[in-house]
Amino acid sequence: MTKNSEAEVTVIGSGSWATAIVKMLCTNVSKICWYIHFEEELKYLKKYHHNQKYLSAVNFKPEKLLLTGDINRAVKASDIIFLVTPAAFLKQTLAPLIIPLKGKIVCSAIKGFIPDDTCIVGEFIHNNYNFPYSAIVIITGPSHAEEVAMEKLTYLTIASQDPERAKITAHVLKNHYLRTIISDDIYGTEYAAVLKNIYAIGAGICIGLGYGDNFLAVLLSNAAMEMKTFIDNIHPIERDIKSSAYLGDLLVTGYSQFSRNRAFGNMIGKGYPVQTALMEMTMIAEGYYASKGIHKVKSDKNLDIPIAETVYRILYENAIPSKEIYNLTKILK
């Protein structure tokens, strides 16, 4: 932390996962700068010390928080920046930023695709802010904010090409209910976090159509193999797709009651039009935007990812869910 810093860590975002990360940080960090874009939410948190919309049962000690609606103050406030906005809104959130990111550790806990730029968050930060990959940290699950709020035992994977930055990030996060795993696979862990949301939508569609756990197990095991094919083609290094950052995150998102992407898919399987299902969601279903981005990457690379493509056709080409899933059942192993 630099001499003139206002806080040890900055968190950008005010949704459920951002709120959960602030809760985790409160264990080890004396002062957290928390950037909240919406003025009404900011005022409420200042007055009542909890997030009105997300994880409202989590109360914060006011002396721990430096609350601000100024993105430049937030970034200037500390040397460790956690990005925890929906991927679809990251570009808009950072648009007013004039404070340089140089010299800071930028941690992305975003599990989505930047829609217009067709890239993962790490690539977006590198390309748009001339920021070195070595200073980027990727934080992935398996994790749901709701279980973090209840202090259920959770494991996070902290990925960075710089082991020291990974250790620093792990140190500020870990506590009695949060354990950390260090990785150097910034591409694979982030792409896995993007893909698992698409597969969770597929799982939800199947549940909405009336398929049971037996088929869901087949779907997700095939999705794991498909994930490996995709990631190994994008960034071919040695990795164990069966570890928690890949398979674990896929399983919790495909099976959990807390999965917003599965809930979104479930509505579509039950007959909701895609746009209606999106409007019904109280939180962003990252897999919706990711599906379009992964489809473009798949097309450019000429990859065979039939489960992800099935979800894409349902979401973006008005394909009939029952017909698409039935056709998919014929090729799964």
Cα-Cα-Cα-Cα torsion 320, 287, 255, 172, nearest 10 degrees, comes to 180
pLDDT given at position 325: 98
Predicted confidence band at 58 (pLDDT cuts at 50, 70, 90)? very high
Rounded Cα–Cα distance for residues 42 and 144 (Å): 23
Q: What is the mean pLDDT of residues 85-101?
A: 95
For the stretch 98-123, what's the b/e string if a residue is b when 16 or more beta carbons lie within 10 angstroms of its beta carbon?
Answer: eeebeebbbbbbbbbbbbebbbbbbb
Task: Report the SS3 class of residue 67.
Answer: strand
Predicted confidence band at 131 (pLDDT cuts at 50, 70, 90)? very high
Number of residues in the chain? 333
Rounded Cα–Cα distance for residues 210 and 204 (Å): 10
Predicted confidence band at 5 (pLDDT cuts at 50, 70, 90)? confident
Judged against a pLDDT cut of 80, whether residue 178 lies above it is answered with yes
pLDDT given at position 2: 61
Give the DSSP H or E segment for 23: helix 16-25
pTM of the model: 0.95
Judged against a pLDDT cut of 70, whether residue 61 lies above it is answered with yes
pLDDT given at position 309: 98
Q: What is the mean pLDDT of residues 107-131?
A: 94
Predicted confidence band at 1 (pLDDT cuts at 50, 70, 90)? low
- The phi-psi region of residue 318 (left if phi > 0; otherwise alpha if psi is between -120 and 50; otherwise beta) is left
pLDDT given at position 64: 96
pLDDT given at position 213: 96
- Mean pLDDT for the chain overall: 95
Judged against a pLDDT cut of 90, whether residue 118 lies above it is answered with no
Burial bucket for residue 149 (CB in 10 Å: 0-12, 13-18, 19+): middle
Q: Which of 301, 309, 302 lies closest to 327 in space, CA to CA?
A: 309
Q: What is the pLDDT of residues 265-306, one digit of tens each?
A: 999 999 999 999 999 998 889 999 999 999 999 999 999 999
